Amino acid sequence: MNDQLTLMTIVLGIIHSGIRLATPYLYAAIGETFSQRSGVLNLGVEGVMLMGSFFGFYAVYQTGNPWLGLLAALVVGLLMGLIMGVVSITLKAEQGISGIGMYMFGLGLSSLLFKTMVGSVEGVEGFSELRFCVTDTLCLADVPILGDIFFNHSIVTYGAFALVPLAWWILNKTTWGLKVRAAGQNPEAVDSLGVNVDAVRYVSVMVGSALAGVAGASLSISLLGIFQENMTNGMGFTAVALVYFGSWRPYGVLVGALLFSGVNALQLWVQVLKLNIPSDVAVMLPYLLTIVALALPFRRSMQPAALTKPFERGEN
């Protein structure tokens, strides 16, 4: 059975699907990395993703232009980040609780807007695979093996992977990155140097949230071309976990995202191999992996010292 299906097809299928599925996790988790490195735990990623997903979809639905969809998602994410900032930075609310609030807000509002503004299953023409064609018939995407892995994704996916070194560079090589890290590690010291801790945190949370919006849009206008209520189905929470998994470092997050999406893809492809893994285990596997990674004790030391602590001048 399936003799035509070589092992190569299966491995390629897993890699191709894994890269595609890593896209939303990467945007959301890299964004959350900025937020957490500045000292703010934003648990509302899931809600922001849903809002970005809906507005990205709706913009394309109305205008037909996927770039406008991406822009809409970015702006909505930015605004959600602003709200999160006001609540958790200015008003100094408990970050976990306000994050859950953001989640429920995004979940409810995106569902409500979808009901009132669209109301049925509609498809949109979003970003398609680039394929890198030199001529009409000659495409890099058709190159055996390498084509599927490197040259058969949408621009949104390439963006997600480009974001990783960019985020690393910003965090580690720029002055602003230094401020972000310091705000999350030792805000008092940052403050004593005359840098506005709250301002740094605001920007970080908003940038992170904007990326979460893009993560949502990557589902509705790149991966799928449709919007459905609660379509993220927990991806935003997984993204937060991936930040812990990756020890608050962009490349660590990349490894986590690829591992997680790879295991997700594996679950479908492993069925071709006729390995009779019990269904429950297969579905659980990605989450189990996350839990194991979160429980590893050595990661604790890498956590930003001021994470979840609102900054108050002269507190100590």
Partner 1 sequence: MNRERLWKLLLLTLVFSLLLVACGGDTEETEPAVDEPAAVEETAVEEAAPEVEAPAADTSGGQYQIPATEEGKYNVAFVFVGPHDDGGWTQAHDVGRMYVEANVADVHTAYVETVAEGADAEQVIRSLARKGFDVIFTTSFGYMDASEIVAEEFPDVDIIHISGFKSNEANFGNLMGAMEDIKYLAGMLAGSRAMVDGNPKLGYIATFPIPEELRLGNAFALGAQKTCPDCTIDVRWIFTWHDPIVEKEAAASLFDSGAQVVMTGADTPAPAEAAPEGKWGITYDYSDNCKIDTCLTSMYWNWGPVYADIVEASRDGSWVGGWQYFDADSGAIGLLGFMDGETLQPGAADLPEADLNMIRETLAAMLAGEFTRFDVFTGPITDNQGNLVLAEGESLEQLDLDGFAQFGSPCETCMYWWNENITAELPEVE
- Helix, strand, or coil here: 9? helix
Residue 308: burial class (beta carbons within 10 Å; 0-12, 13-18, 19+): middle
User: To the nearest whole angstrom, how small is the minimum distance from the Cβ of residue 241 to partner 1?
Assistant: 5
Nearer to partner 1, 87 or 240 (CB): 240
User: To the nearest whole angstrom, how small is the minimum distance from the Cβ of residue 109 to partner 1?
Assistant: 8
Nearer to partner 1, 115 or 313 (CB): 115
- The rounded distance, in Å, linking the Cα atoms of 220 and 217 is 5
Other CB atoms within 10 Å distance of the CB of residue 176: 13
Nearer to partner 1, 158 or 269 (CB): 269
Nearer to partner 1, 11 or 166 (CB): 11
DSSP code per residue over 136-176: SS-BGGGSTTHHHHHSSSBHHHHHHHHHHHHHHHHHHHSHH
Nearer to partner 1, 19 or 72 (CB): 19
CA distances in angstroms from 43 to 48, 99, 102, 133, listed in the order given: 10, 4, 8, 41
* Residue pair 147/12 in contact by the 8 Å Cβ criterion: no
> Which stretch of DSSP H or E encloses residue 32?
helix 7-37
Q: No. of H helices and E strands in the chain?
A: 12, 0
Q: Which residues bind partner 1 (CB under 8 A)?
A: 1-2, 4-5, 9, 12-13, 16-17, 20-21, 41, 43, 96, 104, 107-108, 111-112, 114-115, 119-123, 219, 223-226, 228-231, 233-234, 237-238, 240-241, 244, 264-265, 268-269, 271-272, 274, 276, 278-280, 282-284, 287-288, 290-291, 294-295, 300, 303, 307-309
User: To the nearest whole angstrom, how small is the minimum distance from the Cβ of residue 137 to partner 1?
Assistant: 14
Nearer to partner 1, 16 or 155 (CB): 16
User: To the nearest whole angstrom, how small is the minimum distance from the Cβ of residue 221 to partner 1?
Assistant: 12
The encoded tokens of residue 66 equal: 């996927």
* Residue pair 49/223 in contact by the 8 Å Cβ criterion: no
**121: Cα within 13 Å, side-chain hemisphere:** 2
Nearer to partner 1, 175 or 301 (CB): 301
Residue 117: burial class (beta carbons within 10 Å; 0-12, 13-18, 19+): exposed
User: To the nearest whole angstrom, how small is the minimum distance from the Cβ of residue 165 to partner 1?
Assistant: 26
User: To the nearest whole angstrom, how small is the minimum distance from the Cβ of residue 14 to partner 1?
Assistant: 9
| 316 contact partners, CB below 8 Å, separation of at least 6 | 188
User: To the nearest whole angstrom, how small is the minimum distance from the Cβ of residue 104 to partner 1?
Assistant: 6
Nearer to partner 1, 195 or 272 (CB): 272
User: To the nearest whole angstrom, how small is the minimum distance from the Cβ of residue 270 to partner 1?
Assistant: 10
